[in-house]
Structure 1
Amino acid sequence: MKLQTFYSLKTLVKEGRRRAEKKDVITFDLFDTLLVRRIHDPDLVKLPVARFIATLAQSHGVEIGWQQVQAVRDRVEQEQRDETGTRFDDHEACYPVFMEKTLREIFLEKYWDGLLQEVTGYELKMENSMLVPRKELVQWLDELKKKEKRLFIISDMYLPASHLKVLVAYAGLDGLVDDVISSADTFLAKASGRGFEFVQKKYSLEKEKWLHIGDNGFSDGLRAEEFGIEAFIIKDPGESMRKSIVKRYVNYSDGRPFWRGRALQQLMAPLEGENSPRPDLYIEGYNFIGPLIGSFIQELIRKCRENNITKVFFLSREGHTFKKYWEGAVPFLCPDNSQPEIEYLYVSRIALAGACCAHQGLTKTNVDIAFLPAGNRDFHDVCRIFSLDVEPFQTILQEHGLETETCLSHVHDGYDPENRKKLNTMLGNVTFQEEVKRQTQPSGRALEMYLEDIGYFEHDNVAIVDIGWLGTIPRFFNEAIAHRKDRPCCFSYLFGATRGIPYPQDDKNRLEGVMYDRDRFDLAASTLFYARDLFEEACRAPHPTLNGYRLKEDGGYELEFRKTDDAIGRAELEQDQYFAPLQQGIIDSANRFGAASALLGYDLQDFKPWLNYLFVSKLAFPKSREIINIRHRNHLDDFHGSKKPRKDFGQGIRSLWEYSYLQLRLNPLLRLQLFFRHLRERINE
């Protein structure tokens, strides 16, 4: 029997519209017809479910690996199919039945009511994450619905109709079909033809008025035609090619680590109606920065478990994007809800700088940090950064042979090393430090009140998460509360730790770079140095910078944000608007990353070879157009002053991302030259 086979959706729908004029009923297969899978093998969805069950079992004292869980499931399911085959023509299985039996066998007396529903919920979540509705068929369904055709979905599947309806609803098809029929409910499948017979009797359908559409030549084609139903079979070579690519990447990843990240990215790729035209910045956010942040978040979760961290505080402003990414990815990565609490913490370098002096005073190291930006020159800049009024220090300055305008930075004209020594001597003056503490005590107390309100001191182990780079914010933050006996052990995790100044670690204050840490030689990840501002701008929150913490007259406190109606505020707004598509791409990739990573079962170390490729290709050897599109236009540094350094400062030292488009295009060796310079710098650190 020759089947009516179509090799594109366009031709199928065109002919379907013509034939449907004489039909009253159109039925559709679900999987690989109305919905396509991101993966080549539907059984791969079972693996994250097995890992989930194993995690649940271990948390209840049942020692079992996920491979054993999968083996039990496969055996129990096959036993049911064998038993069904003795009573029906089709060897079908029913998910709630064999899964409950599987769970009872694993958990024994520790099985609890609700366990099956919990596991089912996660399996349907994973199934849905791997399913995409076919746009052209959905549009045709809508047309048929408006013409009042009777529409049904018929599937040979171990998931019962109640479960399939959840997937159909996820796909937005529930309002377009009259009903969903699954062989799991009756053990009558299309494969034997009994499924068509069951549907005809149940819904009183006329065969000659019935058109069925599916992808399986035997079940959807031959059996339908034998039953007297006209059938259309879709054989889409483009879809077959896509699946073969996914299959190769997944298979390669088993023994070649580089391909693990490539498989991840392939599973994250938008399909069908998702694949609409997007701005270049959106694509960079989705394909480049998104997977980097996803791997960062996944490693954070692992470290939180390892260190018994019960709450994670995402530091503003980059923490805004990290937190949103966490919320999108974690439901897939932590289905057992073992992840710690999270909260967004309003902090900034400029707000914490003053608060950290309230008890310890102004330290030499913190003054050194203040003079790192080239725009800072004298004591006025020190006072601006640490929220100090300069006037009360005039006498002390004069006693040490200094003035407020004395040059204290080596990158400015007029610098004398002796003046820096005088400054350091003044830092040891008790009167000077008492005045510093007097002025900063209110902001320090306001910060503590804020942290008390959000429950910071109620935990034994917490994590604070920031973009990087020197660890200035974690340093100031922990110094501001170091005097408190109830402070928790704080693990500071940075996206990248450049560690230009040694960080003061102790039993209650630790810092680590996750994607890059200068204490671990990692040449590929060190290319973060090329465009650190890019990552800050890409992840920045839409609210203004926090300027400080202030005590109120009524005994409370308030957070003070910088105004946005000046030139800097307007430039920042322009920057936010420009990078909005980039940030949207990052956020949109979160749940796709979570689902794909959960399905593959890999983590940061598995993805590292691919991520290294992304770092180097996108930051050290990007296309000229990529640099022009993605690099920042305005970058607000709340520490940076307005003084101009001497003219020879920084001459001849330019980053790749600072060159013009023409220079990037006309100098083919530029990237290689700069990469060798970068390599020398990293080796000599």
Structure 2
Amino acid sequence: MTSNLINVGNFDNLYQTAMTLSANKEVVGFDIFDTVLRRKVEPEYIKDVVANYMMELLQLEGIVIDLELLRQKRRDLEIHLGTQSELKGEDHEFLYDDLIIGLYKQLPGLNEEKVEELYLKTKKFEIRLEKEALCLTPNIGNLLGDLKASGKKLFFISDMYLSIEMIRELLNHFDVEKYFDNGYCSSQFNKKKMTGKLFDYVLEVETINPSKMLFIGDNYYSDVEMTSQRGITAIHINDFNEKRRKSGLQLVEWSFKKDEFWSGKLIHHMIHDIPKRVQPGKSDDYDLGILVAPILVQFVEDLIEKCQVMNINQIYFLAREGKVFMDIYHEIIKNNPANKTYPNASYLYVSRKATFLPSIDSLEWGELNRFLHQYSTQSINSFLSNLNLPAHEYYEYAFKAGFKDFDVKYAHIEKNEQFRSFIEMLEVRTLFEKHQKQAKALFIQYLDEHQLFENEQVAFVDIGWKGTIQDSIAKAIEKEIKIPTIYGFYMGLLDSPMGTTNKSLKFGFFADFRNKNYIENVIFKNGSLFEMCTTPNHGTTIGYEFDGKKIVPILKNFEVEKENYKKYFEDVFKAINDYVKDYSDIRNLLFFRPAQNKLFFTDQIRRYILYPTKREARNFLRYSHVESFGIDKVTTYELQGSIVKELFKWPIHKGPSRIINLVRMQIWPEGVLKRSNIPFVNFVYDYFSTKRQ
């Protein structure tokens, strides 16, 4: 090691070392990449993204070219241009402009004007990518500012194919270009740091005494050996954590090229390695939001992709969970350098309760079975509430039908004589018809005011699981003069009694019952997780009214939901919002499809649902979820029932099977099992559950 070399073990120590060593220096030089600016992805990855963008531009010109072929052409041209420079006695270098223009010129059917146009678009796009892929290293802004304030001349010296002008634009983006007196780039002068020629050139042009210069960089050979040989004092940044981060990033990038599963992991690295807003560990609820956010984002990305393929120009996000998806949608389409066109987005205040009554043609059991097949136990009050009917107007007829207590629940009401008598009364049917017509008229007008009938096809977006709101809307509007084809997009889709028609189709992104994929279907094992994490802090829609100008929704708030939001889910929503903003910042760096990305993120959710930590399982006990249709209750997640009672019931030998059945009946069996503290019980349960499938 020479006396001109100082090692700095991490970025945190750089400031003090640099300020001390620069005391008797006149000039301080900086490497740029991995010194002043850190990378979220490697340069070769950037080239892959640019090649994908160029491929899209060429497709618009009627030129179809394979992505890998385009990348190979760029590699070959880089070698050719570098070799041409060497033949002139210079270093193996080339200008960015020559590279991109030369690449387009190799392709058939492009005239000079078109080549220039595509080159400028590509250059603009690549600069934007670099801005998203880079960030300032810790404390570098303070170091540059204080060195400048102390009277030092600051230069940047970089081996890079980008031009000085492009590097200055990058530095300006991070508000540090103002500190540099001058800059030198290998591509501009065909001289490299790694051969020492660029340093020789800088010393000569700037008439610098090497003993009066300090240089700071991370590459031992280019930034240290080459400067030390010339008598320049060098600080070698040898940050172990940064090296480990970069090694992990390189491994994931390599893995992604071998297996698309790792595309999601690469996104995870980009966001979490150098976090901008996300703060893992802030709270348990915040961490829950960080867990579910990637799945929500990829669902919205898939929605965008499908709408573009299917030429859908209008998206309706359905209350209440749809509010989160709409917010994600608006956030991620803001960062749109390619000026792509995205569908219009609207929020519909709807619910199962608000849409069911307008969708019923008559008070017949066949119609009622759409909710009774799942919720067949009802009282008169709950039955009327589910139909969204004013209960007090029906009490007289309920009393005549033999009901004494309107809150007493009956199982399988379709077989109950009192219920049958009540529903078949002429007065009840007449009253129902009046209320149904009123509800339907208001609902149709509400949809009309939101331009539903002005579109040939629309997208409905909700969390899932059966698409019953879509079913009700499709049925309510089926007799209108002009109705759109409805495409329902859901995170997860289960089968429903109404299924699909040629005017109402449904798709599940992470899980779709038609795929019969037990790995994806794991999200159905704890659907409450996603429902709670996407329920916004506004009430549920229970109907509609005319406010004198337009139709507005009637909302009902539940105190337990407000309390839950304030205690727990405000942090969950903050985490989702932070993640989405960080994702939006890197979105242009991504050229892989949501169907690829979901593989890794599904695996993360599978881990949480099937194998939660004790802390995760116990934290879930704090939550509750309000059910306001079918059954009116607040769902909680502690053990429902008693293991001890089931174990010692007669016959004793059937105790274990009764316990297994009890566990299966829980909303989240795996959480219950983890809280039992029985070793390996989650593994055993998962093994036998998988075997059954």
2:155: which partner in 1? 152
Specify the code of the residue in structure 1 equivalent to 2:384: C
2:658: which partner in 1? none
Q: Aligned partners of 1:309, 1:160: CA distance in 2, in Å? A: 42
Deviations 1:279-302 (A, max 9, x none): 244663465312322332333233
Aligned in 2, Cα 1:602/1:659: closer, same or farther, shift over 3 Å? closer
Residue pairs, 1:334-483, within 5 angstroms? 335=338, 337=340, 339-357=342-360, 360-361=361-362, 364=365, 367-368=368-369, 370=371, 377-393=378-394, 405=406, 409-410=410-411, 417-419=416-418, 421-422=420-421, 431=430, 434-452=433-451, 456-483=452-479
Q: Aligned partners of 2:211, 2:38: CA distance in 1, in Å? A: 29
- Which secondary structure state, in structure 1, belongs to the residue aligned with residue 615 of structure 2? helix
Aligned in 2, Cα 1:15/1:282: closer, same or farther, shift over 3 Å? farther
- Which secondary structure state, in structure 1, belongs to the residue aligned with residue 311 of structure 2? coil
- Which secondary structure state, in structure 2, belongs to the residue aligned with residue 135 of structure 1? coil
2:678: which partner in 1? 667
Query: Which of 607, 611, 621 is the equivalent residue of 1:617?
Result: 607
Residue pairs, 1:496-515, within 5 angstroms? 496-499=492-495, 501-515=496-510
Shift of the alpha carbon at 1:363?
6.4
Check the 8 A contact 2:379/2:410 in 1, yes or no.
yes
Check the 8 A contact 1:442/1:550 in 2, yes or no.
no
Aligned in 2, Cα 1:613/1:576: closer, same or farther, shift over 3 Å? same
Shift of the alpha carbon at 1:26?
1.8
Check the 8 A contact 2:422/2:428 in 1, yes or no.
no
1:74: which partner in 2? 75
Aligned in 2, Cα 1:614/1:372: closer, same or farther, shift over 3 Å? farther
Residue pairs, 1:616-635, within 5 angstroms? 616-630=606-620, 633-635=623-625
Residue pairs, 1:188-207, within 5 angstroms? 188-196=191-199, 199=202, 207=210
Specify the code of the residue in structure 2 equivalent to 1:381: S
Shift of the alpha carbon at 1:475?
1.8
Shift of the alpha carbon at 1:649?
9.6
Query: Which of 216, 221, 242 is the equivalent residue of 1:218?
Result: 221
Deviations 1:115-165 (A, max 9, x none): 434323332333233323221434433443444533333222121233223
Aligned in 2, Cα 1:362/1:284: closer, same or farther, shift over 3 Å? farther
Say how many residue pairs are matched.
666
Deviating more after overlay: 264-273 vs 196-205? 196-205
Residue pairs, 1:287-298, within 5 angstroms? 288-298=291-301
Query: Which of 233, 236, 242 is the equivalent residue of 1:233?
Result: 236
Deviations 1:53-75 (A, max 9, x none): 21222233222222232233333
Q: Aligned partners of 2:263, 2:418: CA distance in 1, in Å? A: 56
Q: Aligned partners of 2:405, 2:610: CA distance in 1, in Å? A: 42
Specify the code of the residue in structure 2 equivalent to 1:4: L
Q: Is it true that 1:493 corresponds to 2:483 in the alignment?
A: no
Q: Aligned partners of 2:245, 2:417: CA distance in 1, in Å? A: 69
Aligned in 2, Cα 1:422/1:195: closer, same or farther, shift over 3 Å? farther
Specify the code of the residue in structure 2 equivalent to 1:562: K
Query: Which of 263, 274, 278 is the equivalent residue of 2:281?
Result: 278
Shift of the alpha carbon at 1:507?
1.5
Q: Aligned partners of 1:190, 1:396: CA distance in 2, in Å? A: 92
Specify the code of the residue in structure 2 equivalent to 1:42: P
Check the 8 A contact 2:30/2:216 in 1, yes or no.
yes
Shift of the alpha carbon at 1:432?
5.3
Aligned in 2, Cα 1:560/1:194: closer, same or farther, shift over 3 Å? farther
Q: Aligned partners of 1:175, 1:348: CA distance in 2, in Å? A: 55
2:647: which partner in 1? none
Q: Is it true that 1:129 corresponds to 2:132 in the alignment?
A: yes
Specify the code of the residue in structure 2 equivalent to 1:664: R
Aligned in 2, Cα 1:224/1:667: closer, same or farther, shift over 3 Å? same
1:99: which partner in 2? 100
RMSD of Structure 2 on Structure 1 (CA): 4.0
Check the 8 A contact 1:402/1:419 in 2, yes or no.
yes
Structure 2: where are the runs of 5+ without partners?
Answer: 643-661
Shift of the alpha carbon at 1:248?
2.8
Shift of the alpha carbon at 1:4?
1.3
Structure 1: where are the runs of 5+ without partners?
Answer: none
Query: Which of 553, 557, 581 is the equivalent residue of 1:559?
Result: 553
Check the 8 A contact 1:328/1:590 in 2, yes or no.
yes
- Which secondary structure state, in structure 1, belongs to the residue aligned with residue 320 of structure 2? coil
Check the 8 A contact 2:609/2:670 in 1, yes or no.
no
1:120: which partner in 2? 123
Shift of the alpha carbon at 1:491?
0.7
Aligned in 2, Cα 1:296/1:561: closer, same or farther, shift over 3 Å? same
1:111: which partner in 2? 114
Check the 8 A contact 2:8/2:235 in 1, yes or no.
no
2:516: which partner in 1? 521
Shift of the alpha carbon at 1:471?
1.3
Aligned in 2, Cα 1:352/1:361: closer, same or farther, shift over 3 Å? same
Q: Aligned partners of 2:634, 2:458: CA distance in 1, in Å? A: 41
Check the 8 A contact 1:320/1:344 in 2, yes or no.
yes
Q: Aligned partners of 1:265, 1:319: CA distance in 2, in Å? A: 24
1:572: which partner in 2? 562
Shift of the alpha carbon at 1:638?
3.0
Aligned in 2, Cα 1:400/1:543: closer, same or farther, shift over 3 Å? closer
Deviations 1:398-450 (A, max 9, x none): 78777893856528xx9964445556757999635532333314422442233
Shift of the alpha carbon at 1:664?
0.7
Identity of aligned pairs, percent? 22
Aligned in 2, Cα 1:276/1:17: closer, same or farther, shift over 3 Å? farther
Shift of the alpha carbon at 1:167?
2.7
Deviating more after overlay: 431-440 vs 420-429? 420-429
Shift of the alpha carbon at 1:655?
2.8
Shift of the alpha carbon at 1:622?
0.6
Shift of the alpha carbon at 1:258?
4.6
Deviating more after overlay: 287-296 vs 5-14? 5-14
Deviations 1:659-682 (A, max 9, x none): 9999715333543465468558x8
TM-score norm. by structure 2 comes to 0.83
Shift of the alpha carbon at 1:494?
0.8
Check the 8 A contact 1:354/1:444 in 2, yes or no.
no
Aligned in 2, Cα 1:90/1:576: closer, same or farther, shift over 3 Å? farther
Aligned in 2, Cα 1:296/1:179: closer, same or farther, shift over 3 Å? farther
Aligned in 2, Cα 1:256/1:479: closer, same or farther, shift over 3 Å? same
Check the 8 A contact 2:510/2:602 in 1, yes or no.
no
Check the 8 A contact 2:464/2:490 in 1, yes or no.
yes
Q: Aligned partners of 2:16, 2:600: CA distance in 1, in Å? A: 42
Residue pairs, 1:52-91, within 5 angstroms? 52-87=53-88, 89-91=90-92
2:575: which partner in 1? 585
Aligned in 2, Cα 1:623/1:131: closer, same or farther, shift over 3 Å? same
Shift of the alpha carbon at 1:178?
4.5
Deviations 1:612-634 (A, max 9, x none): 43232110211110123356623
Q: Aligned partners of 2:278, 2:437: CA distance in 1, in Å? A: 59
TM-score norm. by structure 1 comes to 0.84
